[in-house]
Amino acid sequence: MKTRTTKSANDLLIESFNLQTELNDLKKPVLIEIEIEKDEDAEESKMSKSKIIMAMRLILSGTFHMYFKAHVIHWNVEGFDFPQYHDFFGEKYKELHEITDRIAEYIRILGEKAPATLGALTANMPADTMSENDSIDAMIVSFSADNEKMIAVLRKSIKIAGYCDEPAIENFLQERLDYHQKLAWMVRVIKK
């Protein structure tokens, strides 16, 4: 005949407490840990960083180029619609000039120095064919083409910033894309 072991009241209380704790643990929300892959390869990490720096330098260069072109149009526009074009491009060159500082600051945040000469700043820009003697229509077409190039560069750069895990830069570039898409729309309706 088997003998039964009797549990003390204290043992039963501890068992009950442990069982209650286990049940409570089951009711708690489970936190899912997301494992983020670390870039183990230092060379790949450097390449990623150099890509976003190159993208930011290109954006700075393109923005400065557009700023200058808007300023030139503002100075040289002539004709019946002079006041409207003069004011519009005056507003645009101020906006574009102002944002160059923030772009350069992001280059500094990434650990690089901003270009210190006009040659270095514009090294990545193709030769411009716009002239002060062009008609307003030709100037607007040239400005519009530069803006479309900027939109393409920004789209690629946003992807690079995401890949490089630079969310602040990615957000900033999305804001810039929004600005340039709106500018494209405005220039498109001006040309009609």
Does the pTM surpass 0.85? The reply is: no
Provide block-wise average pLDDT over 10 residues at a time, the chain (192 residues).
58 62 51 44 64 94 95 94 94 97 96 92 81 92 94 95 94 98 95 74
Q: Are 143 and 66 in contact (CB under 8 A)?
A: yes
Q: Give yes or no for a contact between 151 and 184, defined as CB atoms under 8 angstroms apart.
A: yes
Q: Which domains does the chain have, with CATH numbers?
A: 61-114+131-190 (1.20.1260.10)
138/156 Cα distance (integer angstroms) = 28
Are 109 and 161 in contact by the 8 Å Cβ rule? The answer is no
Q: What is the residue type of 159?
A: K
